[in-house]
Chain A
Amino acid sequence: MAAIAPIRTVTGRGVVVAGDDIDTDRIIPARFLRCVTFDDLAEGLFLDVRIDEDGRPTGHPLDRSEHAGASVLVSGRNFGCGSSREHAPQAIARAGFRAVIAGSFAEIFFANATTLGLVCLALDEGPLARLQAAIQAEPSATLTIDVAEASVTCADQRYPGRIADTARSVLLTGRYDPLAELLAGSDAIDAVAANLPYVGAAGGAR
């Protein structure tokens, strides 16, 4: 399989989608899951809060001109909770985002996003609020996420945060898609399967 490039930094403008517990139904409403590829997901991103029921734009931050081209999504606590749909990080990535900064992340979202190389940086409440205020005050400011340091810099101000070590190491080494490493463990997989009675003979099928 093709090698993937390490992700050491993410640089770009930010956009704040405020609120805690933003769930994956909100990120990508279920009707957009009626698909057999991920190709067209970007158009559904946050759609139900971007337009009202008559189809009129609500003035959502993602649609404001000052945030056009932003590549860092900034939100609140427990981002990506709810459904395990990878369609959520896929939609975010396909809409041009390369990182999400939040108070915390729901686990399945975090795992899905990391596998795609979408960087998830968690900030404590204080720094997160200050970063959000800085972006609101100066939407054209450039954010730089340093993956190794698990921090973000915006307008000369550095905000320290957290990225789980397991994710940080794979981002920095370009091995965030684990499939190649999993495939390499082939003999050990068979050995474990052979010891599990419920897997039984079926495990040998290959």
Chain B
Amino acid sequence: MPPRTLFDKVWDAHTVRTLDNGQTQLFIGTHLIHEVTSPQAFGMLEDLGLSVRMPARTFATVDHIVPTDQREEPFADALADQMIKALRANCLRHGITYFDLHSGLQGIVHMVGPEQGITQPGSTIACGDSHTSTHGAFGAIAFGIGTSQVRDVLATQTLAMSKPKLRRIEVNGTLRPGVYAKDVILHIIRTLGVNGGIGFAYEYAGEVFDALSMEERMTVCNMSIEGGARCGYVNPDQTTFDYLAGRPYAPQGAAWDEAVVRWRALASDPGCSYDDVVVIDAADIAPTVTWGINPGQAIAIDEAVPHPDRVRADERASVEEALAHMQLTPGQPIQGTKIDVAFLGSCTNARLSDFREVAAVLGGRRVAPGVHAIAVPGSTLVKEACEREGIDRVLIDAGFEWRAAGCSMCLAMNPDKLVGDQLCASSSNRNFKGRQGSASGRTVLMSPVMVAAAAVTGVISDARAVFGAGAKVSA
């Protein structure tokens, strides 16, 4: 048999048949749902008199609307309260496993899947959320879907999908000290553009990915969609298996050994061909921050904000719009830009290793006067782990608010919002206008350690200068 990619192997194993329009009817082995994009799907199902076909293959949690301070129900926001109740009722009615708010296992849906070992190599994973690409870190085909498609998965455990092309993105060499997984993906998006990945799935590979931890791989895969690619994955290896071993939904005993053999064989074969290959030198990646209103409008921390006259003609209008919204002057260094809010959180960067890293560099420094700093663990398990390690104390002593798990200010559907034109140094994934809850609010995306550097200095800063280079503690 000719060499095959992981993508082809997994796609073929899940292909039910070819539909009349040429799309594939693809079996979805694992379906994740949350409170925002599922209630209408359950409603459609009921209108059609259909049931959930494989309730055991759908898993639910609540994340977007949950308050991160006062979590008692009913929520102050009646609409949010209605949403959590609808999710709970739908899961109960249809026999779906639900990690409820006070179950001890609740968190951002893309954190819960991996933590529970539900996310596994070689599976297909869909969720009504574009950051489902996160789960690709385990060598799964994982992608976001709309609500009508949530209905399709509930009713049939399948989707109508067009097979994307495959681009291998190889990052070789070693990351420089003070450069994190977040910088890798911001650099990739900046290089290929926010629509560079349309029509593609990404295979991330090379020495840098071989060396990254699972949590770091998740950070990169998470933001595939920000580069236009609906899914991105890393081939499974020993790092993957070590992460999954012993997790509640991972195979156990003899089944585990068999699974590892199967998973190993799924990795792309040597010599297989791709529709496109991009090679990046790790040495070219700097601590990276966004300056504009989409994640591709990013620069290295020591660079200046671009000049509209010096960009491609077809980009000029967007650059001008971004500069106006961000209140930045062409040619000004991004360093030194005053911040109002520091947000550590989101499914991109709110895992244990992110908080460990921040706690390790803070070293007794305090959040600058006038900066509102909040730290929101991505899951209840991460929150508890941080508290066991005393990380919460370090953050609280530094002046951060320590919150309960949820999406929080990543999209501000709960009470955590920017006010007016506040500028937020954020470890999240989207800097769209209005994303953090205020139409004129401004978001600058960066790694958690860079958020910490901005928090303690009150301005966008190079963490290597603030904390000393290469403070990296956890792999």
Q: Does A170 count as interface, using CB distance less than 8 angstroms? A: yes
Q: Does A137 count as interface, using CB distance less than 8 angstroms? A: no
Tell me which residues across on chain A come within 8 A of B80, comparing CB atoms.
Answer: 34
A111 pairs with B146, CB closer than 8 A: yes
* Chain A positions 79-102 with a Cβ under 8 Å from a chain B Cβ: 81-87, 89
Tell me which residues across on chain B come within 8 A of A56, comparing CB atoms.
Answer: none
Q: How far does the alpha carbon of A202 sit from the alpha carbon of B17 in the complex, in Å? A: 21
B160 pairs with A178, CB closer than 8 A: yes
Tell me which residues across on chain B come within 8 A of A116, comparing CB atoms.
Answer: 148
B123 pairs with A81, CB closer than 8 A: no
Q: Known: A169-B21, A179-B156, A196-B13. Contact between A206 and B130, CB under 8 A?
A: no
Tell me which residues across on chain A come within 8 A of B55, comparing CB atoms.
Answer: 205
Contact partner, B434, options A29, A173, A202, Cβ 8 Å: A29
A20 pairs with B317, CB closer than 8 A: yes
- Residues 138-149 of B, flagged 1 when their CB comes within 8 A of A and 0 if not, give 000000111111
Tell me which residues across on chain A come within 8 A of B29, comparing CB atoms.
Answer: 193, 196, 198-199
User: B85's closest neighbor in chain A, by CB?
Assistant: A36
Q: Does B241 count as interface, using CB distance less than 8 angstroms? A: no
Contact partner, A21, options B82, B86, B195, Cβ 8 Å: B195
Q: Does A8 count as interface, using CB distance less than 8 angstroms? A: no
A203 pairs with B54, CB closer than 8 A: yes
Q: Does B262 count as interface, using CB distance less than 8 angstroms? A: yes
Question: Smallest Cβ distance from A18 to chain B, in angstroms?
Answer: 8
Q: How far does the alpha carbon of A107 sit from the alpha carbon of B151 in the complex, in Å? A: 18
Tell me which residues across on chain B come within 8 A of A108, comparing CB atoms.
Answer: 130, 144-146, 225, 230
A196 pairs with B294, CB closer than 8 A: no
Q: Known: A34-B65, A34-B413, A189-B157. Contact between A170 and B21, CB under 8 A?
A: yes
Q: How far does the alpha carbon of A72 sit from the alpha carbon of B440 in the complex, in Å? A: 28
Q: How far does the alpha carbon of A181 sit from the alpha carbon of B218 in the complex, in Å? A: 34
Contact partner, A30, options B86, B157, B412, B433, Cβ 8 Å: B412
- Residues 240-262 of B, flagged 1 when their CB comes within 8 A of A and 0 if not, give 00000000000100010011001
Question: Smallest Cβ distance from B324 to chain A, in angstroms?
Answer: 12
* Chain A positions 171-185 with a Cβ under 8 Å from a chain B Cβ: 173, 175, 177-179, 181-183, 185
Q: How far does the alpha carbon of A84 sit from the alpha carbon of B411 in the complex, in Å? A: 13
Q: How far does the alpha carbon of A8 sit from the alpha carbon of B336 in the complex, in Å? A: 55
Question: Smallest Cβ distance from A170 to chain B, in angstroms?
Answer: 5
* Chain A positions 22-46 with a Cβ under 8 Å from a chain B Cβ: 23, 25-26, 29-31, 33-38
Q: Does A188 count as interface, using CB distance less than 8 angstroms? A: yes
A78 pairs with B413, CB closer than 8 A: no
Contact partner, B230, options A18, A107, A164, A173, Cβ 8 Å: A107
A86 pairs with B432, CB closer than 8 A: no
Q: Does A166 count as interface, using CB distance less than 8 angstroms? A: yes
Tell me which residues across on chain A come within 8 A of B228, comparing CB atoms.
Answer: 78, 81, 106-107
Tell me which residues across on chain B come within 8 A of A205, comparing CB atoms.
Answer: 54-56
Tell me which residues across on chain B come within 8 A of A30, comparing CB atoms.
Answer: 411-413, 435, 437
- Residues 259-290 of B, flagged 1 when their CB comes within 8 A of A and 0 if not, give 10010000000000000000000000000000
The 30 listed contacts between A and B (C-beta, < 8 Å) are A19-B321, A21-B318, A23-B432, A25-B432, A25-B434, A26-B432, A31-B413, A34-B65, A38-B40, A78-B198, A81-B228, A84-B132, A106-B228, A108-B146, A111-B146, A165-B22, A166-B23, A169-B21, A173-B20, A177-B148, A178-B152, A185-B158, A189-B16, A189-B53, A193-B157, A196-B29, A197-B259, A199-B54, A202-B54, A205-B54
Q: 9 closest Cβ contacts across the A-B interface?
A: A202-B56, A112-B146, A86-B146, A84-B144, A34-B79, A36-B39, A178-B160, A48-B439, A84-B130
| Interface residues in chain A, defined as those with a beta carbon under 8 Å from any beta carbon in chain B | 1, 18-21, 23, 25-26, 29-31, 33-38, 48-49, 52-53, 77-78, 81-87, 89, 104, 106-108, 111-112, 115-116, 125, 164-167, 169-170, 173, 175, 177-179, 181-183, 185-186, 188-189, 192-193, 195-199, 202-203, 205-206
